A and B are shown apart, each in its own frame.
Chain A
């Protein structure tokens, strides 16, 4: 029976691993493809080589979860077909094109679970392309996977729970953190009190991070408007406005981000219908509570299905796996489904609180100067977008891309789409949802021209 069921899971983070586990438990052998050399995703990323640090050092309060996830994945390793360091670059007709190094192969599947995760949502401001500026996620990767701080004197900036977590992890690891610059006002943090009922431990942990940072002399500022990062060849300082006054701090590295954005290219290539998620301020694949998309046999879980965090990723990965089994006519344990859905609903409520505590700086688009680079690949400026609106009447994102090259470069809009939407929407006086989203095209990431095809590509 399970011979006919040949699921493909893309992504071996918390969602992908839990989905795989559910399938394996019922004797189904999924293909699991992941870009990283080992499982865990970004949040529970594993080191390439073991070192002197413990799981507690690496993952802090989440060490038990990380270890459990890694052990789960190791435990099912011989019951899945696992392709690490492999990129799914195209999807078509129930088959994926996957490239490993310079070899590409076509992998047919009966069902598809997309667990593609998220990356930092960034907004440009002067100096954001300088060496020494990294995303918050990138700063965390440097520390956890590589044991490095992004600089000698580090400033963290932006919004979102990751801001305080990464700063705290840096301080614990012995890095020098000069400041944490939060774009949200302190009053926004009071929203967290609403979250005490839903996720008290998370809220308390957040406050503890902030308190410990301040206790160690890290300047924690709220209501910050970033003005620029100083430097010519690399970061020399950061300048911001706070309650009407300009401030500057010397530093040699800046880690920043404004929450996360889902990786949705494969869902788009799979033909899934998208909806605008007001909380994420972004388009994402439409899905039911179990992770079923609008395409039969295509499921989505984890942050790629909308930002909800690592715990939700594990739960939604398991739920998507169960949905696949249900749809394939296999019997599943319904009580477990109820538990998963209740927990997911609880986390979702808490995400509402987090969004109000770490709001997106919606005023950014009006304040950003014309000469700031918006698209760091093609080096297109904010003013080019405004000019396209003014001179050519552009009001849609793909049209903007066609006329200005924004989002057309190597990263395919991953780093600039959020900001381009904001600038475009502000310039043509529409809401962010009304200007659309970039249509995905293969290859979803760069692939070598000299690639050997094993079998026929999709």
Chain B
């Protein structure tokens, strides 16, 4: 038996971006349906590293990041749980003089953007963070950054959206979407047809075909950030750790587990699922044991990885389609979407309501790829040196 839902907005993809947009839209009074091919938040949104980090983002992302920054402490009111969000600070380590210079240059570049970065020299670093070993030249601390539990936050946004009245259709892949005179028509499995005035394409690593269907091919690739998790340990790691130049990032949750990332996994035969590689995991475990003496004797008890969309230029696509009115894209967060996603959700809701957002998003326009059709395909090796991901 087939049914047709008429809604103001159809959101394709129930990750953190789609769920937070759906929630914001519903609170503005729009009727919203959200479709996900699996469980909401089961991919990159739910299985990323969990860094809630502004530091290190390119300047064009900072306004958006600051907007999200204001949302994180209000999660309890917004979605009913705090998502284990802690404002621990984010400490980015420099292991060479060149890396320290790079941190200093970044601090100068974003000096007016409100991150309040504190540059810390080697000696001072060893005093303040004696649990970090090795030849660390210095670091940059962003005290307002932190970390949270992606597994809980993403599901809770979807849950809150459902509670607010969004129709959430899980295990409902969208097989076809087209624009007609009376709006968008979406066909989904389980014989559900949807008519909507607006469509938000927040399908993460699966967003490419939807963009392409409207004549907007994008250089979007799947990446598989993967994490190792230690057994619960006495809490020693008081800040979220990153490294200039990449290679390792780490945080410790209140229950005591340390989560360490920095290498990528690879897809399984069933491409919706991915798995860390053994060699990648061993590399990360060794790096963690070397950098943190408290982990020298620790055991890894589980790994995780998820599928994430990465753009060739590692900036997301956010904004209106250039070919199709009332179609809005928001995908390709390139391993750095967790922190900004709740802000993106608000921006998307503003785009639907006002046709524009008070937060600048020009840098993320989809037509920036019009002239470059091919990017470099991401592989499963070390994460790129230029920027940390999955945070």
- Asked if A and B form a direct contact in the complex, defined as CB atoms under 8 angstroms apart, the reply is yes
A92:B275 contact, CB within 8 angstroms: yes
Q: Which of B256-298 contact A (CB under 8 A)?
A: 268-269, 273, 275-279, 281-282, 285-286, 288-289, 295-298
- Kindly specify which of B6-14, B299-307, B308-316, B318-326 makes contact with the partner chain: B299-307
Whole-angstrom distance between the alpha carbons of A176 and B300 in the complex? 40
| Given A441-B275, A448-B298, A451-B285, 14 new contacts (CB under 8 A) | A90-B278, A97-B278, A408-B302, A410-B231, A412-B302, A441-B304, A442-B275, A442-B278, A447-B299, A449-B286, A449-B289, A449-B295, A450-B289, A453-B286
Shortest Cβ gap from A182 to chain B (Å):
35
The reply to whether the CB of B46 lies closer than 8 angstroms to some CB of chain A is yes
Known A443-B300, A449-B295, A457-B281; contact A402-B275, beta-carbon cutoff 8 A? no
A449 / chain B contacts, CB cutoff of 8 Å:
228, 230, 285-286, 288-289, 295-296, 298-300
A448 (CB) vs chain B CBs: closest residue: B299
- Interface residue SS majority, chain A: loop
Whole-angstrom distance between the alpha carbons of A442 and B42 in the complex? 18
Q: Which of A398-456 contact B (CB under 8 A)?
A: 399, 402-403, 408-410, 412, 439, 441-443, 446-451, 453, 456
B301:A410 contact, CB within 8 angstroms: yes
B387 / chain A contacts, CB cutoff of 8 Å:
none
Known A106-B278, A392-B159, A403-B155; contact A450-B301, beta-carbon cutoff 8 A? no
The reply to whether the CB of A396 lies closer than 8 angstroms to some CB of chain B is yes
B296 / chain A contacts, CB cutoff of 8 Å:
449-450
Shortest Cβ gap from B389 to chain A (Å):
20
B286:A450 contact, CB within 8 angstroms: yes
A interface residues (Cβ-Cβ under 8 A, vs B): 89-90, 92, 97, 104, 106, 269, 271, 392, 396, 399, 402-403, 408-410, 412, 439, 441-443, 446-451, 453, 456-458
B276:A442 contact, CB within 8 angstroms: yes
A441:B288 contact, CB within 8 angstroms: no
B278:A403 contact, CB within 8 angstroms: no
The reply to whether the CB of B369 lies closer than 8 angstroms to some CB of chain A is no
A92 / chain B contacts, CB cutoff of 8 Å:
275, 277-278
B304 / chain A contacts, CB cutoff of 8 Å:
441
30 CB-based A-B contacts, threshold 8 Å: A89-B278, A90-B278, A92-B277, A106-B279, A271-B268, A271-B269, A392-B159, A396-B39, A399-B39, A402-B42, A402-B151, A402-B155, A403-B152, A412-B302, A439-B273, A441-B276, A442-B278, A442-B303, A443-B301, A446-B300, A446-B301, A447-B285, A448-B285, A449-B288, A449-B289, A450-B297, A453-B286, A456-B279, A457-B279, A458-B278
B278:A457 contact, CB within 8 angstroms: yes
B266 (CB) vs chain A CBs: closest residue: A92
Shortest Cβ gap from A12 to chain B (Å):
22
B279:A443 contact, CB within 8 angstroms: no
Whole-angstrom distance between the alpha carbons of A403 and B84 in the complex? 13
Whole-angstrom distance between the alpha carbons of A143 and B303 in the complex? 35
Whole-angstrom distance between the alpha carbons of A104 and B159 in the complex? 42
B46 (CB) vs chain A CBs: closest residue: A402
Whole-angstrom distance between the alpha carbons of A350 and B345 in the complex? 59
Shortest Cβ gap from A91 to chain B (Å):
9
Shortest Cβ gap from B119 to chain A (Å):
30
B297 / chain A contacts, CB cutoff of 8 Å:
448, 450
A408 (CB) vs chain B CBs: closest residue: B302
Whole-angstrom distance between the alpha carbons of A97 and B275 in the complex? 14
Whole-angstrom distance between the alpha carbons of A90 and B277 in the complex? 9
Shortest Cβ gap from A90 to chain B (Å):
4
State the 5 A-B residue pairs at the shortest beta-carbon distance, nearest first: A457-B278, A446-B299, A97-B278, A457-B279, A449-B285
Known A92-B278, A453-B279; contact A443-B273, beta-carbon cutoff 8 A? no
B277:A458 contact, CB within 8 angstroms: yes
Shortest Cβ gap from B378 to chain A (Å):
19
A392:B155 contact, CB within 8 angstroms: yes
A443:B151 contact, CB within 8 angstroms: no
B288 / chain A contacts, CB cutoff of 8 Å:
449
Whole-angstrom distance between the alpha carbons of A89 and B295 in the complex? 20
B303:A441 contact, CB within 8 angstroms: yes
Whole-angstrom distance between the alpha carbons of A106 and B277 in the complex? 12
B285 / chain A contacts, CB cutoff of 8 Å:
447-451
A446 / chain B contacts, CB cutoff of 8 Å:
231, 299-301
B151 / chain A contacts, CB cutoff of 8 Å:
402-403
A412 / chain B contacts, CB cutoff of 8 Å:
301-302
Whole-angstrom distance between the alpha carbons of A271 and B273 in the complex? 12
A99 (CB) vs chain B CBs: closest residue: B282
Whole-angstrom distance between the alpha carbons of A408 and B255 in the complex? 13
